């Protein structure tokens, strides 16, 4: 790239998940935080039906035009019989230097968009295909963390094939009277239910199956403190200070409405005043989690801390929110990294990881058999 030339960033947002509108808010904040002297930005909105719009149409929505009307006009112009129609507008990507996907939920955090961008041979912000997929699936995340020795809550997995084998009584005998039912592949507390009897359990399972065919039934930590850290980096990540979320006692847990609809009753303590030993343990667990899942670029890691001070990794978010109340940028701001600098670093990390992968993929030379030495004396 020529000296002083602006980097061309492709900001992908929206998506067909329940977090569509959250993604749009994140995209606005990222766009506003970008240094326009450094970056030229093209916008790519993924509609609720899973079609990616081009920059002009995406900008219309971004600037306030009704999305449904703009999307209908754009899709009417497409040959929807073309199997490439959902991504045909990405033909505009030739001059994009780096993609910044901020699609929350499925297609964005599950490795799908990362796989597409990798096929396009473009750098992109955030974790790769495998790390994204493992982190998005709460069951797989827990299994990996258990192998890495990171403490998480106990749980059972329920699927449509096994749902009749589990009763509330059986699960409560194993995991405790209060249980959380949650889709394995979903974010922003969508489809989560706190249950304490058979009727609520069955209703929770039915609702969770609306979002995923794999559901976790998880033990509850009594009176937990909800803490979070932000992580930034590739092979040498840094960790922010610890923040806390304080939810009103009238709410069972940190719900979707708390996060994105009405957070007026939620308190954020950034950074939170906790014992140094707990902060160190949470930081250590966070780095171990980041490494075990092979994360890159960024992640927000959520914890539940029991009344006796024991931390449990609750959730890993590889494309955390960038809304006005999102803790990922807030935590780094409290740690001395401004919103604009955070965006700069994420873009640079994307370029570095792309260059590293390209060197491995395209510069790799297999060993010549005659260069291999076998010691037969042993």
From the candidates 19, 67, 219, 353, give the one annotated as an active-site residue: 19
What are φ and ψ of residue 141, in 5° steps? Answer: -55, -50
Cα separation of 102 and 291, whole Å? Answer: 22
Least Cα distance to 352 among 124, 153, 138 occurs for: 124
Residue 365: inside a domain, yes or no? no
Per the structure, the complete domain to which residue 66 belongs is given by 7-124
Q: What confidence score (pLDDT) does residue 378 get?
A: 42
Q: Residues 303, 333: one domain? A: yes
Residue 175: inside a domain, yes or no? yes
Active site residue 19: yes
Residue 344: inside a domain, yes or no? yes
Q: Residues 270, 318: one domain? A: yes
Active site residue 17: no
Q: Name the domain count of the chain.
A: 3
Q: Residues 87, 116: one domain? A: yes
Q: Residues 234, 350: one domain? A: yes
Q: Residues 98, 166: one domain? A: no
Cis peptide before 195, with omega less than 30 degrees from 0? no
Is 317 annotated as a binding-site member?
Answer: yes
Q: Residues 203, 264: one domain? A: no
Contacts of 351 (CB under 8 A, 6+ apart): 97, 98, 123
Q: Residues 323, 280: one domain? A: yes
Domain boundary among 73, 106, 124: 124
Strands of 32-167 (E only): list them. 39-46, 98-101, 155-158
Is 65 annotated as a binding-site member?
Answer: no
Q: Residues 53, 161: one domain? A: no
Is 63 annotated as a binding-site member?
Answer: no
- For the chain of 378 residues, list the mean pLDDT of each consecutive stretch of 10: 80 93 96 97 96 97 97 94 94 93 94 96 97 97 98 97 94 97 83 95 96 95 95 97 82 46 71 97 98 98 96 97 94 97 98 92 58 45
**CATH value at residue 284:** 3.30.470.20
Cα separation of 348 and 125, whole Å? Answer: 9
Q: Residues 260, 346: one domain? A: yes
Residue 146: inside a domain, yes or no? no
Contacts of 75 (CB under 8 A, 6+ apart): 47, 49, 51
**CATH value at residue 215:** 3.30.1490.20
From the candidates 17, 26, 58, 188, give the one annotated as an active-site residue: 188
Domain boundary among 104, 124, 144: 124
**CATH value at residue 30:** 3.40.50.20
Q: What confidence score (pLDDT) does residue 310 get?
A: 97
Residue 218 near residue 182 (C-beta atoms within 8 A): yes
């Amino acid at each position: 790239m020529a000296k002083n030339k602006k980097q061309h960033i492709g900001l992908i947002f929206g998506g067909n998940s329940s977090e569509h509108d959250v993604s749009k808010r994140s995209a606005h904040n990222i766009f506003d935080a970008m240094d326009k002297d450094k970056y030229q930005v093209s916008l790519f909105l993924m509609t609720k039906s899973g079609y990616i719009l081009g920059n002009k149409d995406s900008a219309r929505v971004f600037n306030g035009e009704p999305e449904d009307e703009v999307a209908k006009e754009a899709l009417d112009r497409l040959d929807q019989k073309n199997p490439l129609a959902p991504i045909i507008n990405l033909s505009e990507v030739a001059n994009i230097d780096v993609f910044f996907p901020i699609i929350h939920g499925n297609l964005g955090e599950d490795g799908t968009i990362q796989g597409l961008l990798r096929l396009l041979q473009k750098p992109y912000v955030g974790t790769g295909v495998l790390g994204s997929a493992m982190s998005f699936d709460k069951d797989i995340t827990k299994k990996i963390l258990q192998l890495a020795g990171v403490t998480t809550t106990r749980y059972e997995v329920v699927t449509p094939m096994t749902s009749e084998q589990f009763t509330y009584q059986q699960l409560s005998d194993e995991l405790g009277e209060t249980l959380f039912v949650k889709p394995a592949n979903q974010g922003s507390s969508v489809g989560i239910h706190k249950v304490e009897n058979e009727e609520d359990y069955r209703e929770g399972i039915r609702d969770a199956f609306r979002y995923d065919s794999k559901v976790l039934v998880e033990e509850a930590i009594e009176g937990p403190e909800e803490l979070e850290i932000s992580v930034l980096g590739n092979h040498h990540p840094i960790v922010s200070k610890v923040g806390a979320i304080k939810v009103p006692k009238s709410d069972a847990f940190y719900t979707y409405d708390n996060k994105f609809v009405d957070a007026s009753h939620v308190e954020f303590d950034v950074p939170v005043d906790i014992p140094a030993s707990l902060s160190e343990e949470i930081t250590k667990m966070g780095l171990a989690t980041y490494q075990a899942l092979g994360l890159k670029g960024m992640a927000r890691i959520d914890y539940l801390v029991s009344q006796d001070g024991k931390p449990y990794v609750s959730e890993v978010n590889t494309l955390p929110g960038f809304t006005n109340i999102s803790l990922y940028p807030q935590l780094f701001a409290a740690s001395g990294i401004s919103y604009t600098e955070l965006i700069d670093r994420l873009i640079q990390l994307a370029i570095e990881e792309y260059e590293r992968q390209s060197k491995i993929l395209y510069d790799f030379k297999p060993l010549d058999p005659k260069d291999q030495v076998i010691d037969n004396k042993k």
